[in-house]
Amino acid sequence: MRNERVLVTGGAGFIGSNLANTLATDNEVIAVDNGYLGTEANLADEVRYENCDVLDDDLPTDVDVVFHLAALSSYAMHEDDPVGGAAVNVDGFVNVVEQARQDGCDTVVYASTSSIYGSQTEPSPEDMPVSVNTGYEASKLSRERYAEYFSNHYDMSMAGMRFFSVYQGYGGAEGHKGEYANVIAQFADDVAHDRAPELYGDGTQTRDFTHVDDIVRGLVDAATHELDGVYNLGTGDAYSFNTVVSQINDVLGTDVEPEYVENPIPEEVYVEHTCADCSKIREATGWEPEIDFEEGIRRVCSPYLTSTASNN
């Protein structure tokens, strides 16, 4: 993408700020965020920041492309306030897209979730049957249905991206998420500070961990190719939480053992395993993940190694 006017909602958050900063090199970028899980400090000077909410009127939607990433993005947030979660994730989505449509924008790329696949040890394709067990999953599936409406009724390009376990580490914009950060970020920070990472159950649950840089490239590719429908963004490889801790110890040269605790999330809700089948976006755009698990762990751990070296 070059010389486009772009809106990123949730643009000061983890994924949003990485996307906004990348796009700002060659485009005019507006990031809107209400500051709940984002901070203006995540953004490059070239990005125009507006502190507002996706439920507001008169959003800056006079753009060529909308990337809608704003969301309440966890199971816990929705269980604490189901009505508020639906308002932000569903009503906010419709509000942004409708304002964009009225302003003449016909290309929207938005965040969905891989959680709707449930626990899957084999790669999950987009056309497999899905169901919802949480308010969070229901809100994201609702987005996909509203996107289908905007596509069919108004001929808009509506690309829903089902993210798989996105991470960067506390050395990047993910640091602002704190307890809502990916487990790789949390475990690395624990191990680096000689704290035992808390693993639910026996630590054998697996995730398709996907570095945010690969996610950003996928989002940009989806807009550039004006994709329509839903697409997975993951690696196709899954690793256990035990393996994450072991790999972090290897990189940091530490030997911190995890602590195994009872899972506070109900068994019928907790997703034990995720793995992406990304053949659909690969065939549509040529996108491939470029950062493998080992390289990703090295990047997450790098700030701690730098800090240790500077203190010696």
pLDDT tens across 137-161, in order? 999 999 999 999 999 999 999 999 9
Res 6: pLDDT = 98
Q: What's domain 167-207+237-310's architecture?
A: Alpha-Beta Complex (3.90)
Give the CA diameter of the chain.
Answer: 63
Res 240: pLDDT = 98
The pTM of the full predicted model, rounded to 2 decimals, is: 0.96
Residue 260 annotated among the catalytic residues of the structure: no
Closest CA to 22 of 39, 41, 42, 38: 42
Cα distance between residue 290 and residue 273, in whole Å? 22
Q: What's domain 5-164+210-233's architecture?
A: 3-Layer(aba) Sandwich (3.40)
pLDDT tens across 62-108, in order? 999 999 999 998 888 888 899 999 999 999 999 999 999 999 999 99
Cα distance between residue 62 and residue 100, in whole Å? 6
Closest CA to 219 of 61, 58, 21, 3: 21
* pLDDT above 80 (res 312): no
pLDDT tens across 231-278, in order? 999 999 999 999 999 999 999 999 999 999 999 988 888 999 999 999
Neighbours of 133 (CB within 10 A): 16
Domain with CATH 3.90.25.10 in the chain: 167-207+237-310
Domain with CATH 3.40.50.720 in the chain: 5-164+210-233
Catalytic residue among 136, 146, 167, 170: 136
